[in-house]
Structure 1
Amino acid sequence: MFRGDDGSETSLTFAELFERAKAIAATLQRRIQPGDRVLLVYPAGLEFIAAFLGCVSAGVLPVPATYPKPRRPLPRLSTIAADCQAVFALTAAQTLTTLDLARSAPELRSVQWLATDTLDLACAADWQRPEVRPEDLAFLQYTSGSISDPKGVMVTHANLMRNLEMIYEGFSIPRICADPVEGTGVSWLPAYHDMGLIGGILEPFYVGGRSVLMSPAAFLQRPVRWLKAISDYRAVIGGAPNFAYELCVEKITPEQRSELDLGSWRLAFCGAEPIRPETLERFAETFAPCGFREDAFYPCYGLAESTLLAAGGKGPGRPVIRAFERAALAELRIAEANGHPAGEIHRVTGCGGPRLDQVVEIVDPETLLPVQPDRVGEIWIKGSAVARGYWNRAEENAVTFGGRLAGSNDGTYLRTGDLGFLRDGNLFVVARLKEVIVIRGRNHYPHDIELTVSRAHEALIPNAGATFSIDHENTERLVVVNEVDRQYRNGDLEQVVQRIRAAVAEEHELDVFAVVLIRPASLPRTTSGKVQRNLCRQQYLDGDLKVQAQWQAPSRGSNGSASGNGAARRRAPAERPRKAASSILPKIGPFDRPLREDEVERLAEQIETRLLDWLVERAGLRTSDFDRDKPFAEYGLDSLTAVELSHELEEWLDVEITPVVAWNYPTAASLAAYLAREVAGKVSPEDAGEETQQPPTAESEFEKLLAEIENLSDNDVEAALEREPRNP
C-alpha cells in the first residue's frame, strides 16, 4: 500500500502486482536480452515495485536510481547509466514529459525509455519464465556517495534470499508477530536505497505481510506522518537512520503526540549511520506516553556490500550502550570509562552480532591479523550474504572483497572500512578507516565536496582544503576548511564563505555548518603531501587552525558567528537572537472577501518581508546580505531546509503547500507572489457572498511526483547510505 501526502491510499495485492510485473517482463523480453541492465527511474509509489519485479521476472538486471529534480543536470544518473552500460530505462509517463532529457541529460538519449504505467496488462500472457540460478545476479545496488565514481554492488539471488532470511531470523518475526502474514510494516525510505528496497519492500514479500509505504518528502516535511501511519495501521515494524528519530523528537509537537498510539510498534530498527545513544534515549522518553517501549529498539549494522543486514540482535530489546575512554579509542584501545568526566567519555551503541552463517572478524588493517580483545580493528565480514563485488571493478574487488587473514586459508572476507570491536556478543562501531562523511543517512565523499569548494571562488587555493563532519547537538554537521590565497587575505572573505555554502548546497544538497578559511600552507598534510582530514578535524575542534576568517551556522537559541584572525574579528552574520518560527511568521488572514489586485500585491510584500526574516534566522546571515531575486540555493540552503520551509509556510499561511515549492519558486520575490495568490484564493463563495473563481494553482502533477521523491537525500533522506557505520 502507498499512502499519499494527503492520506490517500493506493494498494495492490501480491497477485495484482505480479500481473503488472509479468506485463513489464513480457515487454522487456521482446526488446532486450537476458542480463541487460535496466535503469529504474521512479518517484515514490507502487509502480517502482512492479518495474523491479518485472525486470527480475524477465531475467534482466534492475538498477534502482535516484529520482532526479526538474530542470537540473543529472550527473549521477548519467554516470550510473554509463558505468553499467544500461540499454533500457523504465519510468512513469509523467516523468518522460517533465524530465526534459534532451536538455538535462543528452547522454541518456541513447537509452531506450519506457513508461510502464501505460502498458496493456493483457501482454502479461506472453511472459516466459526465465531460467534463473541462485548464483545469477538479481540486481545492481549503486552505493550512495561519490557522484563522479558510484559503484554498483552485484547482488545475486542467493545473496538476497540469504539476507532476507537473516532479517527474518534477526527480527524474530514469528515472536513479534502472532501471524507474520497479518503483520504490517511502515517505511518512508527511498526504494532506490538498499534499506528501503530490501527492508521496506522485499522483506514483506518474503514474509507475506503488508507494507505501508510513504514518500521520503512526506516524512521530511512532517515527521509525524511516519508515526501517525504506524499508529493508524497498527504497524509492528518500522525503522530508519538515526537522524529520523532525532527529527521526530525535535519536530513532533505535544499536541501531535497526544494523538499517537505506538503500542503496536514491536520493532524499531535503527541503522545506516552512527547510532547515537542520546537519540535513542530521547526518543524513548519522548514517545513513552504514546505507548512506545524502549525494548522495541533494534540497533543494527549493515552495508550494501553485504546485501543489507550484517549484524543485529536476536529480536528487539533494550539498547546495549557502553561508555569508553575517548582518548583510548583514539589510540585504538578499548578501556571502559569509570568515573571519568563526561568530556572524556565516548558512549557507543551495540549493534548485535552476526546472524546465521555470517562471520565477523576484527582485524588489524596493517598486519591483517585478528586484533587482541582489548583493541579496535577493521570490521571484516564473511558469509553467503556478502555480495559478489562491484560491477566491472576487478582491482577494487580484489582489495575490498578479497580480504585474507595473514597466514590463514580461511577464505576471503569483505573489508568494510569501518573500525570497531566485539564485546559481550555485540558489535560496537566506533570510527571509519575511510573518510566518508555520513549526514542524514547519506554518504558523501570528501574529495567530491572539496573539489566543489575549490571552484567556488578564485580566492580559494585548489587542492588545499579538507571537509569532514562533527557531532553538533547530536547531529552530524559538515565543516569546510580551505586555504586562502595571500592576495585575498584582506578581501571580502564573507563573500567567499557565501559562495562556498551556495556551491555545496547546489552540488551536494548539503547545508554547511561551518566554513574556516586558513592561511596558505597551513593545512595539515603527510610528508608525501596528502591532506590529513582527521588531524584537520581535531585541530578545528581544538581551535588550532591558523584562521583567516570563519563562519558558523547559528545554533538553537544563539547567534551565528563569523570571525577573522586575531583581534580583527568580523561581524557575526546573524546579529539577533534566533527566534521561534511562530514569532517570525505570525498568522496572515483569513480574509472575509476576495482581495483586489493591489491588495494581493501588498500582501505579497508583507509575506516577502516575513519570509526574508525567516531566511535570515535560518541561514545565519544579515538582512543586507539577501537579495529578493537571488535563488535560495545561493545562500547555502539545502533541500531539507526547503522541505522545512514548506512546512513552516503551511502552518503560517494555512494553505496546503507541496514540499518542493521552494524549488519551483526559488527566490523570495517569486515565492511571496505565489503564496499571496494562494492565500487570497482561500476565500469561499459563502464568505465572499458571490461566486468566485479560484486563481490558477502552481501545483501540478509534476510537483506531486517531486513531493514523493524529495529526500535526506532526498529528500535528503532521500535518500542513504552505504559503507559507514551503517545499519539496515
Structure 2
Amino acid sequence: MSLADRRHFSEPDGVVPTLRPLTAYLAERAGSTRPAFTHLDHASDRDGFRHTVTWAELARRVRAVAAEITRTTTPGQRVAVLAPQDLGYVTAFLGALHAGTIAVPLFAPEVSQHGGRLVNALADCAPEVWLTTEPAFDSVRALAEQQPVPMPKSILAVDRVDLAAGEGFSAPEVDLDAPAYLQYTSGSTRDPAGAVITHRAVVTNTWQGGSAYGVDDTWTCAGWIPFFHDMGLVQLLCLPVFSGAHSVFMTPFDFIMRPVRWLRQMSEHPNVFTAAPNFAFDYTARKVKEADRAGLDLANANVVINGSEPVRPDTIARFLAEFGPYGFRAEAHRPSYGLAEATVFVTNTRDEGPTITGFDRAALGADRGVTVPAGSPGAVDLVAAGRPHGQLVRIVHPRHRTLCAEDEVGEIWVHGPNVADGYWQQPERSAETFGATIEDPDADTPATGWLRTGDLGLCHDGLLYVTGRMKDLIIIDGKNHYPQDIEATVQDAHPAIRRDHVAAFAVSSPGQGEGAAVVAEYRRQADPTQVDEEEIVRAVRRAVSAEHDVRLRGVILVRPGGVPRTSSGKIARAATRRRYWDDQQRVDQQRDDQRRDDRGRRER
C-alpha cells in the first residue's frame, strides 16, 4: 500500500446511493402495523411501561402535526421541539420536517440543567412555532413568558392535535439541499451555534451509519441518548425511520437511575444497535449489581457504539470482563468518531471490534505516532476509531493545510454530503469551519469544501486514532500534552478522587509562561472533612510529574458535581478553568492590589 493510500484510510468504502427526504421513508410504511417506536416509561413503572406506536399510527400523527404547523407558519421557518423524551418528541420532530419547516431539536425546560443553552438557542434562531406535549406545556409557556427569548406565534402540544387535521393534507415538496434542522452544539467554550443540517445531509448520514453497521428492518435501535444530541437524534430517531428498524428508547435520567435498564434493552430485543459515551460503559460496569444481572443475555447486542468522548482501553476491558459472562461479545464493542457538524457519523469500527495500539508518549508530544507495545512504560494506549464510509477523512497540518503522512499527528478534516452547510446566520464562523482548503492536494483529494473538526488525530494501518482537541492542547516548553492523558493519571493518583470527573487545562502565569492545572472532584463516598487534602494534592503532583514530566501550577479539589460538563456529558475544560482558576486568579490579583494600596497609604 502506498503512502498516499495509507494516509487516506484506504479510501472510504461505499458509494452514496440516490436518496430521498427522511419523511418519504416514513410515508412508505404508512400502511404497516409493525411497531415503529417504543418509549419505555420508567416514571410510571419501575420496569418500564411500554408506549408503542406503529408505523401507520406514526405516519397519521405526523401528518396531523404537519398540517397544524402550516396553519401558523410557512416552509423554511424554524420550529422548535421542546418536548420530553417520549413519543411526542418523535412526532414533533418528524412533523416539522414533513411541514417543510426547519426543526430545532431542543428539550423541555424541566428535564435539563442547561437552561442557558436552551435560551441562547431560541434567541439565536427565533422559531415561530414551539412544539411540546401536554405534560410540559405549562413550563414551556412559562419559558416564553419569563425568559429573554423571541415570543413564538404558537405553542402547540402535539398530543392534543386532532388526527383528523391531517386528512387531505398535502405536504410541500422538499428540496434535498434545503435545511432540515439546526443541530445546536454543546457550546463548551463559545455560545451555542446551530449547525445547518440539510435533508441530504441527514438522510446520507443515516445511510452511512446504517449500511456501515448493517442495520435493516430486522434490527432494534435501542438506547437512552437524548434526542437533542446529534447521536441520539440520528441513532434513535432518524435511522429507524430510514431503515424501518424498531426504536426502543428511554430517558437519560432513567439510565442514570438504574443502568441495568440499558442492558435489559440489549437483552430483551433482537439485533440491537445502541450507542453511548465512554463514561456510560464505566458507570454501568460499576453500578450494576450481581443480583440485577440475572437473566441477561447480551448476545443480542450486535453493535454497541462507544463515542462522543475519548474511548479508553481500560473501559473496553472492564466492560467485557463484567458482561462477557452474560453473552456480550468483544467484537460488538464499536469505538467510533463523529461530530454534529458532520451530522454525526464519521468513522466507525467494523466487525473486527476494538483495536488498541500503544504510541510513544514523547513522540506524540512532537506530533509523531511511533508505535510501542501497548501497556509498556512511556506508552499512550489509544483506541482506533475505525474508518469512514461514504465520505472522506484526511489528516491535515493545521497551519500549513497540507496533507499529513501516515503516523503524523494533524487536524482531522471531513468531506462529504453529510457535512452541515454551516452555522445558522454566522457566515464568518461558517467559512472558518466549513470552507477549508487543502494546499497541493493529490489526485484523490478535493481541494475545497472541507470541514475542520478541531480534533487532532493520526492514521495508522488504515485506521483513525483521535489524540485530542486542538483547543484543549497544553503546550509546555514546546511539548504537547493531551489533557485527557493527564486526567487519567490524576484520577488514578489517589482513591479519594472521583473517576471521570477531572479537568486538566492550560494556564499562564506572569514570568512563567504556560503550564497546567487540574480540578478534580472527591468521590461521592469520600467525606471532605475526613480526608487529608494536602496528601491528595501531593499524590496528584507526584503522579503527574513522574508520568508526564509536568509540574502542575495548581491542584483544586471540589465536591461531587463541581466539574461542569457540556450538554452531551463531556468535561467542559474551558468552563472549569473559568470557574475555578480564572476567578481565583482575579481574586488573588485584587487582594494583591489591595495590599499594595494599603502599603502605599501607610508609607505616605
Q: Give 1:378's match in structure 2, choosing from 411, 414, 421.
A: 411
- Kept in 1: contact 2:223–2:265 (CA 8 A): no
Where 2:180 maps in the other structure, the secondary structure is strand
- Which residue of structure 2 lines up, in the alignment, with residue 602 of structure 1? none
- Which residue of structure 1 lines up, in the alignment, with residue 508 of structure 2? 524
Name the amino acid aligned to 2:533. Answer: A
- Which residue of structure 2 lines up, in the alignment, with residue 506 of structure 1? none
Name the amino acid aligned to 2:334. Answer: Y
Residues 1:49 and 2:86 are matched in the alignment: no
Q: Give 1:83's match in structure 2, choosing from 104, 124, 131.
A: 124
* In 2: Cα distance, 1:181 partner to 1:14 partner: 12
- Which residue of structure 2 lines up, in the alignment, with residue 495 of structure 1? none
Change (3 A) 1:526 1:404: farther
Q: 1:246 deviation in Å? A: 0.8
- Kept in 2: contact 1:188–1:213 (CA 8 A): yes
Residue by residue, what CA displacement relative to the aligned partner does 1:81-116 show, whole Å, maximum 9, x if unpaired? 111121111111221224533664253545531111
- Kept in 1: contact 2:414–2:451 (CA 8 A): yes
Change (3 A) 1:434 1:160: same
- Kept in 2: contact 1:279–1:474 (CA 8 A): no
- Which residue of structure 2 lines up, in the alignment, with residue 396 of structure 1? 429
- Kept in 2: contact 1:139–1:155 (CA 8 A): yes
Residues 1:345 and 2:379 are matched in the alignment: yes
**5+ long unaligned stretches in structure 2:** 1-37, 475-481, 493-498, 539-555, 574-604
Residues 1:205 and 2:205 are matched in the alignment: no
Aligned residues: 495
Name the amino acid aligned to 1:337. Answer: V
* In 2: Cα distance, 1:280 partner to 1:73 partner: 30
Change (3 A) 1:257 1:297: same
- Which residue of structure 2 lines up, in the alignment, with residue 419 of structure 1? 456
Change (3 A) 1:19 1:407: same
Higher relative contact order (CA 8 A, sep 6+): 1
* In 1: Cα distance, 2:409 partner to 2:570 partner: 32
Where 1:48 maps in the other structure, the secondary structure is helix
- Which residue of structure 1 lines up, in the alignment, with residue 211 of structure 2? 169
- Kept in 2: contact 1:189–1:718 (CA 8 A): no
* In 2: Cα distance, 1:237 partner to 1:72 partner: 28
Name the amino acid aligned to 1:255. Answer: A
* In 2: Cα distance, 1:123 partner to 1:57 partner: 14
Where 1:130 maps in the other structure, the secondary structure is coil
Pairs within 5 Å for 1:264-279? 264-279=300-315
Residue by residue, what CA displacement relative to the aligned partner does 1:193-220 show, whole Å, maximum 9, x if unpaired? 1111101111111111111111110101
Name the amino acid aligned to 1:346. Answer: V
Name the amino acid aligned to 2:370. Answer: A
Residue by residue, what CA displacement relative to the aligned partner does 1:24-65 show, whole Å, maximum 9, x if unpaired? 110111110111101100111010010111111111011011
- Which residue of structure 2 lines up, in the alignment, with residue 570 of structure 1? none
Relative to its length, the structure with more strand (as a share) is 2
- Kept in 1: contact 2:520–2:557 (CA 8 A): no
Residues 1:127 and 2:127 are matched in the alignment: no
Change (3 A) 1:349 1:14: same
- Which residue of structure 2 lines up, in the alignment, with residue 553 of structure 1? 522
Change (3 A) 1:560 1:235: farther
Residues 1:188 and 2:243 are matched in the alignment: no
Residues 1:334 and 2:375 are matched in the alignment: no
Name the amino acid aligned to 2:465. Answer: F
- Which residue of structure 1 lines up, in the alignment, with residue 516 of structure 2? 536
* In 2: Cα distance, 1:204 partner to 1:565 partner: 48
Q: 1:306 deviation in Å? A: 0.7
Q: 1:554 deviation in Å? A: 4.3
Residue by residue, what CA displacement relative to the aligned partner does 1:102-131 show, whole Å, maximum 9, x if unpaired? 664253545531111111111011422212
- Which residue of structure 1 lines up, in the alignment, with residue 357 of structure 2? 322
* In 1: Cα distance, 2:71 partner to 2:295 partner: 52
Change (3 A) 1:473 1:423: closer
- Kept in 2: contact 1:553–1:561 (CA 8 A): no
Q: 1:719 deviation in Å? A: 12
Name the amino acid aligned to 1:137. Answer: P
* In 2: Cα distance, 1:378 partner to 1:566 partner: 34
Name the amino acid aligned to 1:553. Answer: Y
* In 2: Cα distance, 1:322 partner to 1:71 partner: 38
Name the amino acid aligned to 1:434. Answer: K
Name the amino acid aligned to 2:351. Answer: P
- Kept in 1: contact 2:66–2:96 (CA 8 A): yes
Identity of aligned residues (%): 33
TM-score by length of 2: 0.74
Pairs within 5 Å for 1:7-406? 7-69=48-110, 74-99=115-140, 100-101=142-143, 104-110=146-152, 112-146=154-188, 149-173=191-215, 180-313=216-349, 315-338=350-373, 341-342=376-377, 344-356=378-390, 358-406=391-439
Change (3 A) 1:421 1:184: same
Where 2:413 maps in the other structure, the secondary structure is strand
- Kept in 2: contact 1:323–1:336 (CA 8 A): yes
Q: 1:372 deviation in Å? A: 2.5
- Kept in 2: contact 1:328–1:335 (CA 8 A): yes
Name the amino acid aligned to 1:352. Answer: G
Residues 1:429 and 2:398 are matched in the alignment: no
**Of 286-295 and 120-129, the range deviating more from structure 2:** 120-129
Where 2:110 maps in the other structure, the secondary structure is coil
* In 2: Cα distance, 1:423 partner to 1:72 partner: 40
